[in-house]
Amino acid sequence: MDAGKTYGKGDTLADIISSGNSEIDSKMGGGIPVSSLGLIEGANDSGKSVLMQQLMKGGLDGQKKVLMFTTENTNRSLLKQMESLALDITDYYIVGRAKIYPIQENLAKGNRETAENLLQVMLKTIESSGEDLIIIDSLTVFVVDLPENEILDFFTRCKKLCDRRKTILITAHGYAFSEMLLVRLRSICDVHLHLKIEQMGEQLVKSMEISKVRGAQKATGNIFSFDIRPNFGFKIIPISKARA
């Protein structure tokens, strides 16, 4: 494990997935509890992918096996991107503890049947996988044209897979779901994080709301601002500084 990485009080490495950033873990009440289904929702550029990369590295450092479905990167570009944030996972990748499955966004875009098929393939892959942490970054293109009952069904089936000590984290853009659907998804999910990007004066400021973390009541409602820095990743910044 990397020096300087800490875990929540009373939690063991087996029980949580760390973001690798002790401040962020503590805002979440220690980290992401194992066996959670998590929805990480946010606008373009709000930090969803970088957060997933942090949790991927955190999971690997915490002895987990991790599988990332990505619509944004190839294997090589993801490894490079993570290296640029001081989240190098190349060694884990080489020994097979980190798996990366790129999915071309264009395949599903505007093609409902393909989107439905790809969702089924993802579910089957998760079901038969030996990985502990599964990340889908992002789900938007698969669900944007789907009826709500099919989206709910996908989340419900993911939730069932989480019973087997699998943790599944799904990123999506807010516009992928109606307000009504979001309420229902939030109740299915154990973790709901909302990333925002707002104009404050001259600056665009990123923030994260911990809308829900199962078992961590104190974490619920925590909001903090952050920056993403090269060779570092997420860096919490005080609200007063963000507003300056």
Ligand X SMILES: Nc1ncnc2c1ncn2[C@@H]1O[C@H](COP(=O)(O)OP(=O)(O)OP(=O)(O)O)[C@@H](O)[C@H]1O
Pick between residue 49 and residue 225 the one whose CB is nearest to ligand X: 49
Pick between residue 8 and residue 58 the one whose CB is nearest to ligand X: 58
Provide the CA 194 distance to its chain's centre, in angstroms: 11
CB of 77 to Mg ion, least distance (A): 12
Q: Check: CB of residue 190 under 8 Å from CB of residue 29.
A: no
* Interacting span for Mg ion (CB under 5 A) from 43-51, 63-71, 140-148, 203-211: 43-51
Pick between residue 206 and residue 214 the one whose CB is nearest to ligand X: 206
Residues 6+ apart with CB under 8 A from 122: 69, 136
Q: In the range 146-175, which residues lie near Mg ion by CB under 5 A?
A: none
85 interface partner picked from ligand X, Mg ion, none, CB below 5 to 8 A per type:
ligand X
228 interface partner picked from Mg ion, ligand X, none, CB below 5 to 8 A per type:
ligand X
214 interface partner picked from ligand X, Mg ion, none, CB below 5 to 8 A per type:
none
Contacting positions for ligand X (CB under 6 A): 42, 44-50, 72, 84-85, 138, 173, 228, 230
CB of 143 to ligand X, least distance (A): 14
Pick between residue 30 and residue 42 the one whose CB is nearest to ligand X: 42
By DSSP bridging, strand 66-70 and strand 133-137 are parallel
Pick between residue 26 and residue 49 the one whose CB is nearest to Mg ion: 49
Residue-wise DSSP of 207-231: EEEEEEETT-GGGTT-EEEEEEETT
Query: Which residues of the chain form beta strands (DSSP E)?
Result: 16-17, 32-33, 37-42, 66-70, 98-102, 133-137, 167-172, 191-200, 203-213, 223-229, 233-237
46 interface partner picked from ligand X, Mg ion, none, CB below 5 to 8 A per type:
ligand X
CB of 194 to ligand X, least distance (A): 12
User: Residue 210: what residue type?
Assistant: I
21 interface partner picked from Mg ion, ligand X, none, CB below 5 to 8 A per type:
none
CB of 89 to ligand X, least distance (A): 14
Pick between residue 52 and residue 98 the one whose CB is nearest to ligand X: 52
Nearest alpha carbon to residue 187 among 217, 163, 159: 159
Burial class (CB in 10 A: 0-12, 13-18, 19+), 6: middle
Residue-wise DSSP of 6-52: ---TT--TTTEE--S-HHHHHHTTSSEETT-EEEEEE-TTSSHHHHH
Which residue in 19, 21, 49, 211 binds Mg ion (CB under 5 A)?
49
42 interface partner picked from ligand X, Mg ion, none, CB below 5 to 8 A per type:
ligand X
Integer CA distances (angstroms), 177 to 46, 217, 226, in order: 17, 25, 25
User: Residue 125: what residue type?
Assistant: T
Give the footprint of Mg ion on this chain (CB under 5 A): 48-49
